[in-house]
Structure 1
C-alpha cells in the first residue's frame, strides 16, 4: 500500500478493509489497533495530516458486527475537504486525525448496516454488511461505500445451476444497498441529496461455476463420488478420456483443484472474464473500468507463494471498485488522460493474504468549468 501511495501520490486516499481482525478476531483484534497506529505515524504517510479511521471491532454485538474498516487520509496540500454529518445533515470541515472503533453506531459521520440474516440462511452468523461515508472536495460531493457480500459456501452447490444460488443471494444484497436498505441507510435515500457514489470492497463475485467448469473440462469424463452414509455428492472428478485417465479437476465442498493454474494467470486470466457475469444485472446503474489484473482470490497465505492460488475455490475477481454512472462521469471526462487512470492490484508478487487488494487511482476535477477549478488525485483501495 505504501508503494502504491508513493507511486501515485494521491491527495485523498480511501482504504476499505473487510474482516478486520481476521478469522480469529477475538484474539487478533488488538493487532488491528497496532496496525492503524503504525499506519498513521509511518514516514510513508507523514504528508497526510488529516485522517478518519472507522473500525467495526465490536464482535460481542452479533446484531451489528460487520468487521468492516474504512480509512481515509488527506494530504496536507488539499485545503478544502469536508465530511458529511448524517445526523446534522451538513458537511463539516475535516481537521486532525480521528479513530473510531468498537461501536460505530454512536458516530453520525457514517451509516452502517448489516444485511438481514435471512439473506444467507446457510450461514448461522454473518459479518456481511456495508458502511457509507460522504465527502466533498471543493464543490464536488460523493459517497464512498465499503461493502462485503456473501461468499460461496460450497463449490458443489455453486456448480449445480447457472447462475448459482449464491449469485442470486449476492444480487439481492447488492440491490438492498442500492435500493432499499433500512429506513435510515441507503444510497438513494430521499432525505439526502443524490450524489455520485463509489462502491468498493469484497463483492465475492464468482465466475459462473457451471459454465467455467464445462469450458475447462469440455473433453473430460465426469465421475461423481457419493458419501456412504448420506448418499449425497461428496466430490466430482473430471478425468481425461485417454492419457491414463489423468485427473483434470477435482471438486469438493471446499476444494477446487484444477490441473493447470496458469489458465488463471496467463494474460491476467482475462480469457475467463466472459464467465464473470454477476455485475451484468446492474449494468445500467453500476460501472467499472476494464479489468486487466488476475483474479483477486483465493491466493495462498504462504509467505513464499505470493503468486500462487489456493486449491480451495475457483479463482475469481471478488474484490472490485464500482461506481455510479454519475461517478464515472467524474472520473472519465472527455479530457481525461487515460495515463492518469489506473485500475490494478497491489503486491502482485507478494503474499497479501487470500485476497489481493485492488486500487483505482484517478484525477477528480472539482468546480469544472469555473475559474477556480482544481484537479485532485484520488486513490481508492480495496
Structure 2
C-alpha cells in the first residue's frame, strides 16, 4: 500500500510492505541458508523498482515500513548460541508418494511387493548437544530446532541478551539504496500471544527484528536532522506475536 503526502513543500511516500516469512526453521540450516531471504530481496527489489518508475522527475522521501520478515543470519547466530556443542540430526520415517510404490508390468501398474521399500527418511529436527558421557540427550541439549520450533535451553536469557546477537541481523544490508536508524530495542518477533504471559518469546522461531522502517537517502538525511526516535513499544501488552515499531521525527 502506498500513500503520498506533501508537507511543507516536501513530498513523502509511505509504502507498507509485508514480505515472505520463513516457512521452515530447518530449511535455512539443512538446505539453503539464503532460501527465504533471497525471495524477500526479489520482492522488495521489485517494489523499489516500480516506485522508481513512478517518480516522473519527482524524487520523494521514501519510507518503506511493515513486517519485512527480516531474519538473523542463521550461521553466525547458531554459531554464537551453540558454541561447544555438536549437531545431531533427528530423523523420522515417512511414506513416499503412492507413485513411488508402483511398478509397471506389461503396461499395467502394480503396487510394489515390499511397501517398506517405499519409506524415506527425513530430518525432523536438529539438536545441538553438549559433549556428555551419559546418553541423556535431553539434559545435554542446548537447542532443538524443528520446522516450527526453536527451543533454546534458557529462553529468558535469549531475550535478555538480545544485544549480543544484534550483529547477526544483516538482511537489511542487501538493500544498498535503503537506510535505517540504529536499532536499540529487543527483537520484535516472536512474542507470546498469551495475554497472561505476553512478556516472553514463543519457542516457535528464532528471535528477529522483522518489523522495520527503511528509508531512501533523501528521507534518511531529512530524518537524521529531525531528532528521530526509532523504537518498538507494547512490551508489557499482548499485541500478537509481533511488537509494533515506530519512527518519529520533527519536520
Q: TM-score, normalised by structure 1?
A: 0.55
Q: Give the aligned partner of residue 361 of structure 1.
A: 248
CA positional deviation for 1:170: 0.7
In structure 2, what is the equivalent of residue 60 of structure 1?
A: none
Shift of 1:138: 2.3
8 Å CA contact 2:27–2:33 kept in 1: the answer is no
**In the alignment, is residue 203 of structure 1 matched against residue 68 of structure 2?**
yes
Unaligned runs of 5+ in 2: 95-119
1:163 Cα deviation after fit? 4.1
Residues 293, 190 of structure 1: alpha-carbon distance in 2 compared, 3 angstrom cutoff: closer
* Deviation, structure 1 residue 189: 2.1
Helix, strand or coil: the match of 1:308?
A: coil
Cα pair distance change 1:189/1:163, threshold 3 Å: farther
2:151 to 251, 257, 263: 257
Contact persistence 1:162–1:210 (CA under 8 A)? no
Q: Could you tell me how far 1:188 is from its partner in structure 2? A: 4.1
Report SS of the residue matched to 1:227. strand
Change (3 A) 1:291 1:234: same
Deviations 1:230-256 (A, max 9, x none): 311111111111385521111111011
Selected match of 1:351 from 220, 226, 238: 238
Alignment equivalent of 1:275, drawn from 168, 178, 182: 168
Q: Alignment partner for residue 287 of structure 1, among 179, 183, 189?
A: 179
- Secondary structure of 2:42's counterpart equals helix
Match of 1:167 among 37, 40, 49: 37
**Per residue, is there more helix in 1 or in 2?**
2
> Structure 2: how far apart are the matches of 1:150 and 1:311?
20
Larger radius of gyration: 2
**Corresponding residue for residue 241 of structure 1:** 131
CA contact (8 A) 2:85 2:129 kept: yes
Which structure exhibits the higher relative contact order, with contacts defined as CA atoms closer than 8 Å and separated by 6 or more residues? 2
Deviations 1:180-211 (A, max 9, x none): x4xxxx24424362211101100000001232
Q: Report SS of the residue matched to 2:234.
A: coil
* Distance (whole Å) between structure 2 residues aligned to residue 192 and residue 236 of structure 1: 53
Report the Cα distance in structure 2 between the residues aligned to 1:261 and 1:254, rounded to whole angstroms.
16
Q: State the Cα deviation string for residues 325-354 of structure 1 (Å, max 9, x = none).
A: 100111112xx5xxx421111111211100
When the two chains are superposed, the root-mean-square deviation of aligned CA atoms in Å is 1.8
Change in 2 beyond 3 A, CA 1:290/1:266: same
Distance 1:209 1:266 in 2: 19
Once residues 182 and 45 of structure 2 are traced to their aligned partners in structure 1, the CA distance between those partners, rounded to angstroms, is: 22
CA contact 1:307–1:348 (8 Å) conserved in 2: yes
CA contact (8 A) 2:156 2:200 kept: no
Q: 1:161 to 1:343 in 2, by over 3 A?
A: farther
**With structure 2 as the length reference, what TM-score do the two structures score?**
0.83
- Out of 229, 234, 250, the residue aligned to residue 342 of structure 1 is 229
